Structure 1
Amino acid sequence: MTLAESRTTHPLTMTTAEEVAAVREVLVDAGLLTEHVRYAFFAPEEPAKSEVLAGGDCDRRFRVVLLDIATGRSWDTVVSTDHRSVVSSRELDPPVDGQPPIIDTEFEMIEDILNADAGWLAALEQRGIAPASVRAVPLSAGVYDYPDEAGRRVVRAFGFQQDHERDHPWAHPIDGLVAYVDLTRRSVDRIIDEATHPVPATSGNFDDPEVAGPPLDSLKPIEITQPQGRSFTVEDGHVRWGKWDLRIGFNEREGLTLHQIAFDDRPICYRASVAEMVVPYADPAPVRFWQNYFDCGEYMFARYSDSLQLGCDCLGDILYTDAVIADDLGNPRTIQNAICMHEEDYGVLWKHSDMFTGSRETRRQRRLVISFFTPIGNYDYGFYWYLYLDGTIELECKATGIVFTSGTPGEYATEIAPGLGAPFHQHLFSARLDMTVDGANNSVEEVEAQRVPMGEGNPYGNAFRRSVTRLQRESDAQRQANAASARVWHIVNPEKRNALGQEVGYVLHPTGQPTLLADDASSIAARATFATKALWVTRYDPAQRYSAGDFVNQNPGGAGLPAWVQADRPVDGEDIVVWHTFGLTHFPRPEDWPVMPVDYTGFVLKPAGFFDRNPALDVPPTVSDHCASL
């Protein structure tokens, strides 16, 4: 029996270990996976939307980026497991395309490379630091005015001192020192030894009782139970809960993906994901100006996703789902409990006590939570999709972990402990929302409050109205948020009307925080142009998947959204994708040390005319011993 015969028929079903193994076999048989070749990326190559919506069988394909660690050559390859064949394979041109992501094999070799370099060892000796106590942190290099780096596979590495194996080295940055490393030649290009700063002596060992102090023992246990079991079902990635119907997926670049989201059998969004994120730092020092990390595109951050634990990461009647990815050698690796699903009470859904009729009605809100958590270097990120009983969709991103540290508090960093700095930075996420609001052809309207001047028709000056601007083409569908005017974006279906004659729609509520703060002429602005706008709208193209382009690592810039919108395609009443940039601007606090309490960002999609009335009128009253009439 073939894989095509043994697997479930839905084309968006999650990857299996058998499929990963089959891809590897095809690549070996084709002579593409040899002794020095590694996987830099692996993910399902999803069929075009039209193929999936048409039903029937679709060819099951996977995309693999292959990297020869001996030569630095790389290939973007697509494999069909149904036909057990290589569909396509293109060699990358690094100066133009950029480099494949950095892989574990390369991370693991960094300390050996540094400890073989005389310049690195001399810099440590000058500081009185034993090389064996230094943990090297290799980081993506970006693209700067270094002609000799063009086409070469480069990282830049900091050192952090670790006093013992349980010591968190982030507390001890060896500041003023950075190494530029060629990963293919396995050599150090140059050492930047700008200044010798004292290594901070503070402890970052938040898991040490002497640092944390005695436990707070006055908190009583909270237990969440559902005596009759959970209300949702999941079968082969197909989730049903209340009136909600959707599919879940997972890949190492985006992590959790949601597909074919519908409410009461009406489609809302064909595919939702976090397509990219960038963390630009603000310190212009000679050793730090290049710090800008694309955690999705440069590191494939979801490959490090946690195996979640009941009672710690998730609470309640939990259903966990494993995710299967590929390791550097192309072998299947299962992340157990990668995705968590559960229900949460969320307070009052709607309520009214009426003075005329004497009625008193309350309904409680609850939400379905679908989430995953991934550590990447010093930070940990959680991504929580919430589905509510009233048709609302929310994405909440949680940032925690350990702030990146320096030994130089000053104008561009907060002193968070004696002598320990935390540079200012941003966390900017890009959500890709392939909208299908009651059908494939949608439009976007910018809606905001508009003050009406006092005068004729407004003699007392109290009036304000709603301003509505329909976005027509990709060139004018590049917008900023504006909290001062309550700016939102309505995604509507111009072909469908509700009972009141209004276009059915969903409204995107941004948080309105700053987009990219780096100068428009900076390298990071060229490479992360998606982050310079809060909203982009593009025509759907199955090949346009990632906001900063397919290959972000050492890409010179201009890829992704800025390249695609050059076509200036019409977006009014078309099959469109909405891209939303949101995030945090982080001026670290002392309270963020030695481990950072969760900070939150995200956005909300709420129905606006999608329904003819409150869609949650049918939610029954709560039956509980704790909810009773007086």
Structure 2
Amino acid sequence: MTLVDTPTTTSGENEAGTQHPLANLTAAEFVTIRDIVTSSDDFTETTRFAYVGLDEPHKREVLAWQAGEGVLPERRARVMLLDMATGHSTDNIVSLDAGAVVSTAVLDGSAGQLPILVEEFDAVADIVAEDPRWVEALTRRGTTVEDVKVVPLSAGYYDFPEEEGRRILRVLAFRQDYPGDHVWAHPVDGLSAYVDTASRTITRLIDSADLAIPAESGNFDDPAVQGSPLTTLKPIVITQPEGPSFTVDGDVVSWANWKFQVGFDVREGLVLRQLSFTDAGEERPVIYRASINEMLVPYGDPSPVRFWQNYFDTGEYLFGRFTNSLALGCDCVGEIKYFDATMADETGNPFTIKNGICMHEEDFGTLWKHSDIYTGSNEVRRSRRLVISFFTTVGNYDYGFYWYLYLDGTIECEAKLTGILFTSAYPGLSASGEDYPYASEVAPGLGGPYHQHLFSARLDMMVDGLSNAVDEVEVGRVPVGPGNEHGNAFTKKTTRISTEAVSGRVADASVARSWNVVNTEKTNRMGRPTGYTLYPQDAPTLLADASSSIAARAEFATKHLFVTQYDPAEKYAAGDFVHQNPGGDGVSKYIADDASVDGEDIVLWHTFGPTHFPRPEDWPVMPVDYAKFTLKPYGFFGKNPALNVPAAVPHCSSGIASPDAAASDELGVADGDGVASADLGLSASGASASAAASSGGCGDNCTCGH
């Protein structure tokens, strides 16, 4: 297992040295942006950069430039600024070409606030410690300001009069028994403070119940808690003796028949742009832009100090800035290519998270196989996938987002959820002997409140071009009758989604519901539209009541799918300014004009994710949970596009020595996302598996992984 050292050009530059209009902002560009903004007369010593990102050109401008039919689009950045002393907030567009701020919009707070700054988080502990009500409440619970860690959290919107026009954080507390003690084991429950970060005051203190602080340690990294090490596992070694199959040019990746651009944004994290598949020499577009544009974590505990727990981890917290550096971790296997993630800090200065994005190949079992009883043909091919991933830690939870590309044209996005539960005190049985209805007891006296993780994938589709539509496909039951006398028949029902206002759809596994994105101008060799089908996981949408504040703020999460016409201003499912937004933005606003989505340039907004009733097994650190969706070609190709994958040449061996510890650290050796236990190369001649078997390869007793 090695790090791949691929020669790269400057980020996003082509062979002529021209920067691609979708290339990631560079450190030098962040410096230029900072200098332009700070030279303004309105910039003060207390002004902070809340967000800096690429202001992407209109899709048609980029495509025209790529086709040689248009000029290179202007290079611009979007910059959001917050004055920490006054709360003054602006949304600005900066032209790097012109070296100037070209537009400024002032926010009044009525339609949401700018994202929360780390500097605001850091200030909260001192703010609450200066309030005697907070100190007294801790004392009454047998703890002190010095022994407590405060957790500042996004406020949501509840129309409290004293919060109008103010930047509010809500605060919960956790006791830390000694340095290194994981605080999530000791929630100080029944107590919450609402804090105005600009005036540095508590606007409201909730002191509803004196609940016992759970005492048991949750230190998952303590050998005494871990127990005796498992000693029976043998090393798994993943090798690619000829190196990886992908090539990298700047941020453009080619692998098998796939080509795409790796992007990064401080709000969305990993972004994939311009995914295309080369078919019979033609580079055919599939998706123009794909990202996780929002992530909602709504909690179901209605207690006085927890009813407001609903977090938008991208829009409120900018979860891309918490991206993990994977250089010293164990997050990828095989021949690893890392991409750095560069962004601006809150003073506008660039900083880089080394190895923030990981890319590698994985063996994925059987691709296709058949042993024919009439001809004796015995063919099998190995599947593999390209994995592009990143991990971000948002407070207590760690989230990995993995995009998988397969040899047969399949695309998957998988979220991996791990880390530590956000805990509460568990109140125990009621007087009637019933369990608390809104949390699980995961350790003595420790609760894991019920909650959901609802991810929004923004899929800017481009299936064979810009003229796309969505057909809802599901099973149609056929009653017994003429033509179905024996009652065995069933069929496929297809319904075209015509406009934005009727595009809200819910998954239904009972009828195998899926959504087929078709090109309305292109057909396959059978004369039918070329398409890609979105297969959702059937899981609950937002469970909060339809009249709730969170339902108004997150309409996108009330359905599994919305479809809109492409608009470069429509970037985020919950709107641009999510923090303290009363609702009505995002998808709610995007579908209001009820534009046509039949034969148009369209965007899919897909909600997916688990509903979590925490288990004792999720404590003190949670084994990875998974949520995903799949996009598969449906009529996009005229036949199986993986027929030409050559047969694997088995290199079965045993007793492979694992790399020593020093080599593992140096090479980025990782743990088991991969499943291969043997080196399976591909025959240069494409020799069949049956031929390999006859020469001592894969026979009936093959143990090499086929």
1:261 to 275, 288, 291: 275
Q: Would the aligned equivalents of 1:310 and 1:318 in 2 still touch at CA under 8 Å?
A: no
2:262 to 248, 272, 290: 248
1:318-467 matched pairs, under 5 angstroms: 318-409=336-427, 410-467=436-493
Match of 2:323 in 1: 305
- CA deviation after TM superposition for structure 1 residue 542, in Å: 0.4
**In the alignment, structure 1 residue 85 sits paired with structure 2 residue 100:** yes
Distance in 2 between the 1:345 and 1:564 partners? 41
1:48-67 matched pairs, under 5 angstroms: 48-55=58-65, 56-67=71-82
Could you list the per-position Cα deviations for residues 297-323 of structure 1 after superposition, in whole angstroms to 9, with x for gaps in the alignment? 000011010001366111111000001
**In the alignment, structure 1 residue 187 sits paired with structure 2 residue 201:** yes
Distance in 1 between the 2:370 and 2:32 partners? 59
Q: Would the aligned equivalents of 1:39 and 1:327 in 2 still touch at CA under 8 Å?
A: yes
- CA deviation after TM superposition for structure 1 residue 222, in Å: 1.2
Match of 2:39 in 1: 29
State percent identity of aligned pairs: 59
| 2:609 aligned counterpart, secondary structure | strand
Q: Would the aligned equivalents of 1:175 and 1:408 in 2 still touch at CA under 8 Å?
A: no
Match of 1:508 in 2: 534
Distance in 2 between the 1:311 and 1:120 partners? 39
1:457-536 matched pairs, under 5 angstroms: 457-536=483-562
| 1:325 aligned counterpart, secondary structure | strand
2:91 to 58, 73, 76: 76
1:212 to 209, 220, 226: 226
- CA deviation after TM superposition for structure 1 residue 8, in Å: 4.2
The one-letter code matched in structure 2 to 1:108 is D
| 1:297 aligned counterpart, secondary structure | coil
Aligned residues: 627
Q: Would the aligned equivalents of 2:12 and 2:250 in 1 still touch at CA under 8 Å?
A: no
Q: Would the aligned equivalents of 2:324 and 2:390 in 1 still touch at CA under 8 Å?
A: yes
Q: Would the aligned equivalents of 1:506 and 1:607 in 2 still touch at CA under 8 Å?
A: yes
Distance in 1 between the 2:336 and 2:183 partners? 35
Distance in 1 between the 2:316 and 2:348 partners? 19
**More displaced, 23-32 or 582-591?**
23-32
**More displaced, 54-63 or 399-408?**
54-63
Distance in 2 between the 1:344 and 1:22 partners? 40
Distance in 1 between the 2:81 and 2:461 partners? 32
Match of 2:295 in 1: 277
Distance in 2 between the 1:442 and 1:84 partners? 38
Distance in 1 between the 2:362 and 2:382 partners? 11
Match of 1:572 in 2: 598
Distance in 1 between the 2:377 and 2:12 partners? 58
Q: Would the aligned equivalents of 2:12 and 2:252 in 1 still touch at CA under 8 Å?
A: no
Please, what TM-score do these two structures have when normalized by structure 2? Answer: 0.88
- CA deviation after TM superposition for structure 1 residue 190, in Å: 1.7
Could you list the per-position Cα deviations for residues 457-481 of structure 1 after superposition, in whole angstroms to 9, with x for gaps in the alignment? 1111111000000111111111111
**In the alignment, structure 1 residue 292 sits paired with structure 2 residue 310:** yes
Distance in 2 between the 1:446 and 1:302 partners? 33
| 2:493 aligned counterpart, secondary structure | strand
Distance in 1 between the 2:348 and 2:541 partners? 37
Q: Would the aligned equivalents of 2:327 and 2:354 in 1 still touch at CA under 8 Å?
A: no
Distance in 2 between the 1:302 and 1:7 partners? 28
**In the alignment, structure 1 residue 229 sits paired with structure 2 residue 236:** no
Which ranges of 4 or more aligned residues in structure 1 deviate by more than 4 Å?
3-8
Match of 2:690 in 1: none
Q: Would the aligned equivalents of 1:9 and 1:57 in 2 still touch at CA under 8 Å?
A: no
Distance in 2 between the 1:515 and 1:43 partners? 30
Distance in 2 between the 1:230 and 1:109 partners? 47
| 2:150 aligned counterpart, secondary structure | strand
| 2:127 aligned counterpart, secondary structure | helix
Could you list the per-position Cα deviations for residues 585-623 of structure 1 after superposition, in whole angstroms to 9, with x for gaps in the alignment? 000000000000000001000000000000000000001
Classify 1:73/1:540 alpha carbon distance in 2 versus 1 (closer, same or farther; 3 Å): same
1:94-133 matched pairs, under 5 angstroms: 94-95=109-110, 97-133=111-147
- CA deviation after TM superposition for structure 1 residue 4, in Å: 12
- CA deviation after TM superposition for structure 1 residue 34, in Å: 2.1
Match of 1:38 in 2: 48
Q: Which runs of 5+ in 1 are unaligned?
A: none
Distance in 2 between the 1:99 and 1:307 partners? 29
Please, what TM-score do these two structures have when normalized by structure 1? Answer: 0.98
Match of 1:172 in 2: 186
Could you list the per-position Cα deviations for residues 210-240 of structure 1 after superposition, in whole angstroms to 9, with x for gaps in the alignment? 1011211211111111100011011111010
Could you list the per-position Cα deviations for residues 337-386 of structure 1 after superposition, in whole angstroms to 9, with x for gaps in the alignment? 00000000000000000111101100000000000000001000000000
The one-letter code matched in structure 1 to 2:195 is V
**More displaced, 308-317 or 52-61?**
308-317
The one-letter code matched in structure 2 to 1:415 is E
Distance in 2 between the 1:309 and 1:217 partners? 26
Distance in 2 between the 1:229 and 1:31 partners? 54
The one-letter code matched in structure 2 to 1:45 is D
Distance in 1 between the 2:48 and 2:12 partners? 26
